Amino acid sequence: MAVGILSTSLIGLGLAGYFLWSGLRTELDRQAQELQSTIDSQAAQLRTLNAQLDDLSRQIGNVDLGLRLTL
């Protein structure tokens, strides 16, 4: 009888552990997807800013060249 209670308890603990791990894994996956989405969004913003900086750099270069030609 004690063996039956012990084995039932161990099975119950195993199932509880499995469901706990499963829930934790689901939450970790959700957070990882959310973080990846944030990273992708920020990477897109950085690419936009980089393109704007390149454009501004070209404009400054054109102004500098124009000033040199004027002088």
21/62: higher pLDDT: 21
Q: Quote the CA–CA distance of 45 and 5 in Å, as a whole number.
A: 60
Please state the pTM of the whole predicted model: 0.63
pLDDT at 37: 98
Distance of CA 59 to the CA centre of its chain: 34
pLDDT digits (tens, 9 = 90+) for 24-46: 999 999 999 999 999 999 999 99
Please determine, for residue 49, whether its predicted confidence score (pLDDT) is greater than 70.
yes
Cβ neighbours of 7 (radius 10 Å) = 10
